Structure 1
Amino acid sequence: MNRQRISAIAHQYHSIAAPLDSDSADLLLRWGLPVGDERVLDLGCGRGAWLELALDGRPELQVVGVDLDPAAFENVPEVLTGKNVELRVGDAAEYSSEEPFHLVLCMGATHAFGGLLPTLEAARRHLAPGGSVLVGDGYWEREPGPAALEIFGDGSGADPFTDLAGTVDRVVQAGWTPVFAHTSTTAELDEYEWSWTGTLSEWALDHPDDPDSAAALEAARVHREEWLRDYRRTFGFVSLVLRRTDGGA
């Protein structure tokens, strides 16, 4: 069972593919979104949940979403079918546009670029002067054990994260200034994990004849045990609204 299908099923009832509730997402967008007919880009947009939120009450926005999975754009809400919306299937790391964007998002998809700092470098190439980036990534709330490092690592043995202060230091040293942020609460993280594993499990139980049913149930079981035993209250998630320190793009 491929990763895209697992993710699509697991996020069926948690459209934001990150540990954030709707109030937190709304607050982040209020900080990051410009006012008027500006352009918004979501790199690794999934089913376009962030773009849908951005367009709520702001129909003048021009929005573009890029995702590698063509199935992500099946049955999108009506608001994402308008003439001011472009949904493009492709590698977010290879996307290019002649016009810059006033807000660039990459929420929970930094793996597509090789980590937080490469994601910010990619976002910078799309950013209009004075624009903002909204990026979400993991950090360690406490010292991780070997199992947590293996789960979130890339196989090289390198630690993919640091603590929250160290994460902000890296961003600042790379030329960015945080203008707002949200650290996901334990409740948000727990709700996300229960939703992810529960939705995938329920789908498997409801579709016993599907060729992927057994694999989905096993994927949910493994994920649930890793979360509960190896990284709950160790892995954290921070969403940062950033601007270039030098004001440029």
Structure 2
Amino acid sequence: MNREQISRLAHADHPIKSPLDDDSVRQLLERALPSGHERVLDLGCGGGEWLLRALATRPRLHADGVDISEDALAYAREAASNLGVQERLVLHRQEAADFASSDSFDLVLSVGATHAFGGLLPTLASARKHLAPGGRVLIGEGFWDRDPSHEAVEMLGDFTDLATTVDHVVADGWTPVYGHVSTRQELDDYEWTLWGTLASWALDHPADPDSSQALALATTRRAEWLRVYRDTWGFVCMVLRQTSD
């Protein structure tokens, strides 16, 4: 099984691929889309879950999504058609960091996808290129809630603490106008759901040649979460505006 297959199975019961519940997603979109008729760009949109939720509740909204996964984009197209919003959604299959457009966007979002750009600040630099004057960025990034072990850093990456993360954003010319730090319940629900859903698929499909691999992976990932990073890693989403356009 490749990484994309694993992710699709594991996220079947948690389509937002970040530790956020539905209410948190709704509040972030409300803060990021104050007028309801914005043009939105999602850099690393996956299956378009954020865009689909925004389009479904804002009939004047238009959106573009960028991702390298044809399977994910196919899911987004089908879901958009089922919701009746396909005419307001344009999807692009390419590297998000390489995306170029003659249009500017009122909201650029990238939640849980900063690895595609090489980190938080490179993601913001890319977002800035697409942002209309007075526009907003919705960014989601991990941070260390307390000093991590060497094993945790090797596993998840070289994050900073929350205050330093915000300091870096501000020093880069951005002003946070809203934020949400994932709660312990959101973090735990996310991990329990991912690895429980993957394990359930394996148990429900014992004859599938990928079943044993999926079950072993779910067991390993659950143990890594519980033993290595559960008590140290956090996740923050911020709505940002440029301090000076």
* TM bin (shorter chain): over 0.9
* Partners of 2:143 and 2:91 in 1: CA distance: 30
1:2 aligns with 2:5: no
Query: 1:90 Cα shift?
Result: 1.8
2:114 aligned to 110, 114, 124, which one?
110
* Partners of 2:218 and 2:175 in 1: CA distance: 38
* Partners of 1:245 and 1:17 in 2: CA distance: 29
Amino acid at match of 2:126: A
SS in 1 for 2:180: strand
1:138 aligned to 127, 139, 142, which one?
142
Retained in 2: the 8 A contact 1:52–1:80?
Answer: no
Aligned to 2:174: 176
State the TM-score, normalizing by the size of structure 1: 0.93
* Partners of 2:14 and 2:30 in 1: CA distance: 21
* Partners of 2:182 and 2:36 in 1: CA distance: 29
1:76 aligned to 74, 79, 98, which one?
79
Retained in 1: the 8 A contact 2:55–2:85?
Answer: no
SS in 2 for 1:56: helix
Aligned to 2:205: 207
Aligned to 1:18: 18
Deviations 1:125-153 (A, max 9, x none): 11111100000010001000111111013
Query: 1:36 Cα shift?
Result: 4.5
1:85 aligned to 67, 83, 89, which one?
89
SS in 2 for 1:76: helix
1:205-244 equivalence runs, <5 A: 205-244=203-242
Deviations 1:108-137 (A, max 9, x none): 111111111111111111111110000001
Structure 1: gaps spanning 5 or more residues: 154-159
Query: 1:80 Cα shift?
Result: 6.5
Residues paired across the two proteins, number: 241
2:130 aligned to 91, 113, 126, which one?
126
SS in 2 for 1:210: coil
Greater helix content: 2
Amino acid at match of 2:173: G
* Partners of 1:9 and 1:122 in 2: CA distance: 30
Aligned to 2:102: 98
Retained in 2: the 8 A contact 1:145–1:230?
Answer: yes
Deviations 1:182-236 (A, max 9, x none): 0000000000000110111111122223332222212211110110001012100
SS in 2 for 1:42: strand
Retained in 2: the 8 A contact 1:148–1:231?
Answer: yes
Percent of pairs with identical residues: 56
Structure 2: gaps spanning 5 or more residues: none
